[in-house]
Homo-oligomer: A and B are copies of this chain.
Amino acid sequence: MTLEKAIARFEDVVGPEHVLRGERMGEFRDPFQPEGWEDHLPSAVVQPETVEQIQEIVRVAAQWSVPLWTNSQGRNNGYGGAGPRLSGSVTVNLRRMNRILEIEDELCYALVEPGVSFLQLDGALRDGGHPLTLSVPDIGWGSLVGNSLEHGITYLKYGQDFMAPCGLEVVTADGEVLRTGMGGVPGSRTWNLYRRGLGPSLDQLFMQSNFGIVTKMGIWLQPQPEVIMPVTVTVPREEDIVPLADTLRRLLLDGTIAGVPCMYNTPSAAAMVTQRSDWYDGDGPMPEAVLDRIGRELGIGRWIARISLWGDGPVVDHRYAKIQQAFGAIPGATVTGKRTTPAGARELEHPSDRVAAGVPSLDLQMMAGWRAGARGGHMDFAPVIALDGAELLRFLRTFRPMVEAAGLDFKSAIMAVSERSAVYVSGANFGFDDEEQARLVYDTMQRLVTEAGKLGYGNYRAHLSVMDVAADQFSFNDHAYLRFVERLKDAVDPQGVFAPGKQGIWPASRRRPR
């Protein structure tokens, strides 16, 4: 059988101990799918250690037309974790490629392999005494490369507009190695310093896509600021999202706030430190009175915004005063700042404050367990929306009833990924031992994505099981975008080796009728 022949060759390339089959590949699936579901299961997991091994794996895969699914750490659990879109794919997992190749203190960047996690780079910065701060996501176990390639969100300076990655090395489907941007000039020192090259820049072509395997990436770091200050703002009523978001947008646009501030509604913020059963054990969505009580007792209101300030002391002080005044104009609002230093930030009590200050941890794994604790999963609906209070409220009033009609809580984490737009992440929680509840969530997600598309909202990212329907919403001019991307895909990966179906992009041989 072709697949077995290819796997035997993979064993030759990486050593048999680095090709996982059966039980040993147990964790390389969607961790939140109930047992027995077989939608996103690999046939084997190959763990190379070098670029040359990846080149050889790709050549073998092309020869035998074996679909590969690549991940780095494979930790994006709200979107399907390490599972492949197409069951039977061979997963190329890059955890063994975990070298930090360079850390540069004056030009403030690092060059890393795909297996390097946020926690690992943070540790290396501390151990090496580098005066640099890393922008981190909520949970620190993920790969810098993997997170960046999937448009994952981090919260400090270079989180804004996804500016952290700069310069990629990629293995393409013909097994060749390509460097983007200035990396194309042998001996260039600006590969990881300048965001473009001469001619069209390819970096974003390798993000959220299936055009290559990224083997190295530059990542920008901030110099450690004198002061860093997580700030939280709470407001007492759901409709206060309007002045909260509008004030936030104005402060982002005028430069008072930078990075990626977020706004969490009550159940979303409560899930960081408690479980649903601590508050309510009814079946349907939590009643308003319970939400109000949680907001009061945890001091998170009906919305809590999380903002990071950093810089010279006097600048941070000016900005904080301005923030206090601006949000203070909302009736019932509270504004709390925790002025500290990069070293002091490690001692902050709330894990969310630590993330806001660039300190990664695993503490916010808690969020997945809102229902069912350690046996709890979540699936995220994440459309992009204008950072406009009235529109956010309209969105909430449209989608909250749809989610609650399915008996689920309407959680909201609104990440202002740019000064003008936000990702509205609405995670639905379920116990993954409860197949019926899981199915309900999966079905609800399909429906939310479709309804959002009708209203002009596209998703910033999609769970494996909704990738096709999410891509379908980009239907301008009879799906001109996807048709163009498919032509690119066929040109650079004619065998359809890389990640069939990722973000709705299928190779010609597996393409859906449209």
Show the binding face of A for B, using Cβ within 8 Å: 106-109, 151, 157, 161-163, 172, 176-180, 182-190, 193-209, 211, 220, 222-223, 225, 249-250, 253-256, 258, 311-312, 314-315, 318-319, 322, 384-388, 391, 417-421, 453, 455-462, 470-471, 473-477, 480-485, 487-488, 490-492, 503-505
Q: Is the CB–CB distance between B487 and A199 below 8 Å?
A: no
- How many whole Å from A308's CB to the nearest CB in chain B? 12
Name A200's contact: one of B206, B250, B384, B455 (CB within 8 Å): B206
Name the CB-closest residue of B to A177: B477
A188 CA to B459 CA, complexed, in Å: 11
Q: Is the CB–CB distance between A475 and B184 below 8 Å?
A: yes
Q: Is the CB–CB distance between B459 and A311 below 8 Å?
A: no
A426 CA to B234 CA, complexed, in Å: 53
Q: A172-B484, A488-B491 are in contact. Are A200 and B189 (CB under 8 A)?
A: no
Name the CB-closest residue of B to A310: B255
Inter-chain contacts of A189 with B (CB < 8 A): 385-386, 391, 456
Name the CB-closest residue of B to A226: B254
- How many whole Å from A21's CB to the nearest CB in chain B? 31
Inter-chain contacts of A254 with B (CB < 8 A): 223, 225, 311-312
Name A151's contact: one of B107, B161, B190, B196 (CB within 8 Å): B196
A385 CA to B189 CA, complexed, in Å: 8
Task: Count identical subunits in the complex.
Answer: 2
Q: Is the CB–CB distance between B193 and A420 below 8 Å?
A: yes
Inter-chain contacts of A477 with B (CB < 8 A): 176-179
- Seed contacts A184-B482, A203-B204, A315-B318; 18 additional CB < 8 Å A-B pairs: A106-B249, A107-B249, A178-B477, A178-B484, A184-B475, A186-B475, A186-B476, A189-B385, A193-B387, A196-B207, A196-B208, A198-B458, A198-B461, A199-B481, A200-B208, A223-B253, A314-B314, A488-B491
Inter-chain contacts of A475 with B (CB < 8 A): 184-186
Name A490's contact: one of B157, B322, B491 (CB within 8 Å): B491
Inter-chain contacts of A211 with B (CB < 8 A): 200
Q: Is the CB–CB distance between B484 and A185 below 8 Å?
A: no
Interface pairs A-B: 8 shortest CB-CB: A187-B456, A184-B474, A491-B491, A200-B209, A199-B503, A194-B421, A201-B204, A185-B458
Name the CB-closest residue of B to A454: B187
- How many whole Å from A285's CB to the nearest CB in chain B? 28
Name the CB-closest residue of B to A108: B253
Inter-chain contacts of A208 with B (CB < 8 A): 196, 198-200
Inter-chain contacts of A473 with B (CB < 8 A): 185, 198
A222 CA to B462 CA, complexed, in Å: 32
Q: Is the CB–CB distance between B420 and A194 below 8 Å?
A: yes
| 5 A-B contacts (beta carbon < 8 Å) | A151-B196, A179-B481, A194-B418, A195-B418, A198-B470
Name A196's contact: one of B225, B253, B460, B490 (CB within 8 Å): B460
Inter-chain contacts of A183 with B (CB < 8 A): 476
Inter-chain contacts of A176 with B (CB < 8 A): 477, 480, 483
Inter-chain contacts of A108 with B (CB < 8 A): 253, 419-420
Q: Is the CB–CB distance between B185 and A474 below 8 Å?
A: yes
A420 CA to B94 CA, complexed, in Å: 29
Name A179's contact: one of B194, B476, B485 (CB within 8 Å): B476
- How many whole Å from A457's CB to the nearest CB in chain B? 7
Inter-chain contacts of A188 with B (CB < 8 A): 456-458
Inter-chain contacts of A205 with B (CB < 8 A): 200-202, 205
Q: Is the CB–CB distance between B162 and A196 below 8 Å?
A: yes
Q: Is the CB–CB distance between B186 and A456 below 8 Å?
A: yes
A222 CA to B161 CA, complexed, in Å: 16
Q: Is the CB–CB distance between B178 and A481 below 8 Å?
A: yes
Q: A199-B471, A253-B223 are in contact. Are A421 and B178 (CB under 8 A)?
A: no
Name A161's contact: one of B178, B195, B312, B480 (CB within 8 Å): B195
Inter-chain contacts of A178 with B (CB < 8 A): 476-477, 480-481, 484
Inter-chain contacts of A198 with B (CB < 8 A): 208, 458-462, 470-471, 473-474, 503-504
A488 CA to B211 CA, complexed, in Å: 11
Inter-chain contacts of A163 with B (CB < 8 A): 161
Q: A194-B417, A195-B418 are in contact. Are A255 and B311 (CB under 8 A)?
A: yes
Most buried by B among A193, A202, A388, A483: A193
Name A312's contact: one of B203, B250, B322 (CB within 8 Å): B322
Inter-chain contacts of A225 with B (CB < 8 A): 254
A261 CA to B28 CA, complexed, in Å: 48
A11 CA to B501 CA, complexed, in Å: 44
Inter-chain contacts of A418 with B (CB < 8 A): 193-195
Name the CB-closest residue of B to A189: B386
- How many whole Å from A80's CB to the nearest CB in chain B? 14
Inter-chain contacts of A258 with B (CB < 8 A): 255
